[in-house]
Structure 1
Amino acid sequence: MPRRSLPTSSAISTDPLELARRLLDEGEPSLSDLAARTGLSASHLQRRFRARFGLSPAEYLARKKLGTLKSALREGRDVTTALYDAGYGSPSRLYEQGASKLGMTPATYRAGGRGVAIRWTLVDTVLGRTLVAATERGICAVELGGDDSVLEQKLREEFPLAQLERVEAGRDDFLAPRLRAVAERLAGGDAEVPVDLLGTGFQQRVWDALMKIPAGETVSYAGLAQSLGAPRAARAVASACAHNRIAVVVPCHRVIRGDGSLGGYRWGLPRKQQLLARERG
């Protein structure tokens, strides 16, 4: 089974981009600070960082802070404490940087998505019965299964107070194009699917990394943890994969155990085996 090549710990320690990412994980350095520490010019660092991670250093830092905020809110902490702990400094900075990316205010997110509009539908795809749901920012759930009521219940448990609107597949101007893109991806195509990744900062980093694994390749849980600069976080990586709600589009099926066995899969090991066999073919 092909295995994705990942950097060794020594390579990570000398890689200026990995150093920049670690500095961002540990604090809030400016671009000039990062350039001085990595030995790259600010413009070169900016360009290479975006090419590697898909985000500028500033965007990476903003996403990390947002993940910290959302995790605290999900744990039930009050908004004021959560915003200062996440590093926003003031409520105004929170709503400038955080609320728009949540697609809702922090208090609303903490309250189970109260008032947030999520459109969803159930369709038959090449992988069986599928629930597809989207916020205004992108797809927030692609659930696979055989029981419509179970699929719907999963969505309602995730956003118990959201404004969930079921629409007829293919006839809703908002969801229809997103649904077509998801269906193409489930069929093995490469359609671009905008996603709304709602999770902790670490979960988002794992999910982002998953989307960078090419079709036909796999990586171990430990290897993915090492690539994220957290070599002891293999279990946390496995947990993030288990909490991925966007099947195939966020390809957690490409993560396996170090011994080459499949490991777990939210939507069943036979389906994981099917997906990997299809991609290898």
Structure 2
Amino acid sequence: MQKAAKPLESDYVRVAKALEFLRTDWREQPTLNETAAAAKLSPHHFQRLFKTWVGISPKKYLQSLTLTDAQRQLRSGGTVLNTALNTGLSGSGRLHDLFVSLQSMTPAEYRDQGIGLTIGFGIHNSPFGRCLLGVTARGICWLSFDKAETEPSKILLPLKETWPSARLTPAQKETAGLLKRIFPGEGSPPRGPLTLLVHGTDFQVRVWRALLGIPLGATMTYGDLAADIQKPKAVRAVGTAVGQNAISFLIPCHRIIRSDGGIGGYRWGSPRKEVMLEWEKIRLLDI
């Protein structure tokens, strides 16, 4: 019997490998040919693919890594957030304050877990891999990222667990149009206004609102976030609420890092979290 052909790596996997190579060897200033070789692609194909997924050229990405290192040095003198604010990241970089508004379910709606609610969903490619987008008449209620090899039958499970009583219906065309506003392409930020509908306790919603206030390109620790909502002793509970955020990227839980400066965990994978943070630092080059 003939053996099945080995599946080719997805474009996202190739770009992720190239990003890892550049982050590891950026001080050596690798050439386009060297970086393309790391992704197992021709230079021409790699250049085009990289810009499609990341939004800028490999050369500009290398420049952003220099900025990242400078920011890291600045952070050594204080908290990450304070350093970001002191370097002017709070101006036009306050992306989520400007483009995202958040609505929460009423106590009765929270208790009923989505009874009477219809969620249209679509599965699409994004700058951070395949994503699942869920939308209601009241706003976006879900944005998650998954691995390309995940079985289609399992992609909807987390959405169903969060909204167990809601009716789910395919809405590929509607969500495709919405996704273009979230990821317009060419590295551009979301085109607002975007309304989000969240399903959580009062404490969770309070944490998620605080996440919206973290400026583009900045990060906070769990302790910083707990202090920001005036619950300095609730660091563990804050961490749990951050991990339960169902609208990834738009509610930027990826901007929360460990107190030792480590990247920390992420519901949709730590490597994806690293890519998101680098992507946002690149945006600052254009501000």
Q: Distance between the aligned counterparts of 1:249 and 1:185, measured in 2?
A: 16
1:184 aligns with 2:188: no
The residue identity in structure 1 corresponding to 2:139 is G
Report deviation, 1:116.
1.1
Report deviation, 1:184.
3.4
Q: Is the 8 A contact 1:188 1:279 kept in 2?
A: no
Report deviation, 1:185.
8.8
Report deviation, 1:215.
1.2
Match of 1:250 in 2: 251
Report deviation, 1:134.
1.0
Distance 1:221 1:188, change over 3 A: farther
Report deviation, 1:235.
0.9
Match of 1:212 in 2: 213
If asked which structure has higher relative contact order (CA below 8 Å, sep 6+), I would say 2
Report deviation, 1:126.
1.4
Report deviation, 1:166.
0.8
Report deviation, 1:189.
1.1
Instruction: Describe how 1:12-91 pairs up with structure 2 within 5 A.
Output: 70=107
Q: Distance between the aligned counterparts of 1:194 and 1:157, measured in 2?
A: 22
Q: Distance between the aligned counterparts of 1:233 and 1:188, measured in 2?
A: 35
Report deviation, 1:112.
3.1
Distance 1:128 1:186, change over 3 A: farther
- CA RMSD, aligned part only? 2.6
Greater than 4 Å deviation, 4+ residue runs: 185-188
Percentage identity across paired residues of the two chains: 35
Unmatched 5+ stretches in structure 2: 1-71, 84-96, 98-102, 283-287
Query: Could you state the TM-score of these two structures normalised by the residue count of structure 1?
Result: 0.59
Query: Could you state the TM-score of these two structures normalised by the residue count of structure 2?
Result: 0.58
1:233 aligns with 2:234: yes
SS of the residue corresponding to residue 81 of structure 2 reads coil
The residue identity in structure 2 corresponding to 1:123 is H
Instruction: Describe how 1:119-134 pairs up with structure 2 within 5 A.
Output: 119-134=120-135
1:35-69 deviation line (CA, Å, top 9, x unaligned): xxxxxxxxxxxxxxxxxxx8xxxxxxxx8xx77x6
Report deviation, 1:187.
5.2
Q: Distance between the aligned counterparts of 1:187 and 1:236, measured in 2?
A: 34
The residue identity in structure 2 corresponding to 1:250 is I
> How many residue pairs end up in the alignment?
184
Q: Is the 8 A contact 2:110 2:200 kept in 1?
A: no
